[in-house]
Structure 1
Amino acid sequence: MNMKRTLNDLVRAVVDEAERNTEFARRIDEALGIQEKPKKPALSRAAHRRAPAAIDPIELARQGEPVLRARLAELDLEQLKDVVADYGMDPGKLVLKWKAADRIIDRIVEVSVGRARKGEGFLSSESPRSE
């Protein structure tokens, strides 16, 4: 019974303060999900983010390297860099500085084919067993 009274007093105090203090009321609304939090200004890092990749190079690599290379050849330099960035193909942050599309395509193919084949040894039904 004491808990009920304590909680009622607490809620009443919160309501009273919210009625007197608009900033407090706004924060309560945000906390309860009644009002969206105001958007913070975009950070400089967000302004430098690349666009999402136009293709899925791993899926194309599963269809064969020639298919992947043909689709990559259709993309411009910036779209190729978007693929590299979106699929984490440049851990050293060097590929995004390259200016030659064919060099970037070679990197995408190398990584994509490797990722597409990853685990194939485990999928083979005729893998040798050690007995």
Structure 2
Amino acid sequence: MIDQAFAHSFANEWIEAWNNHDLEQVLSHYADDFEMHSPVIAQIAGEPSGMLQGKQAVGAYWSQALQLLPDLQFELITVLAGVSSITLYYRGALDRLAAEVFHFGPDGKVVKAFAHYGV
């Protein structure tokens, strides 16, 4: 079970790492072979499935995204906790609303993440 303390700690660390553009700190929250699902992957990384696997592939994609958006800042709106997952609802790039769902393994690292964006 995800408890409130873990959920808020993860959310605050994740948002802070992104706002500092500290890619290594962002990636520290993920398992080595995690899956990232996002419609932006298709746009930036050119992967039509919208899915990348592993820190190396996702790190390269996020590095490219940070270069394209040098002023990127996230504003956390709320944190939602589930059984083995957390959803962060935040304002992201280009002032767009986003919800990201993180599924955690037994070691507390993200094994799958799904990003959703306001249309």
The alignment's TM-score, normalised by the length of structure 2, stands at: 0.32
The alignment's TM-score, normalised by the length of structure 1, stands at: 0.30
Highest Rg: 1 or 2? 1
Higher helix proportion: 1
Higher strand proportion: 2
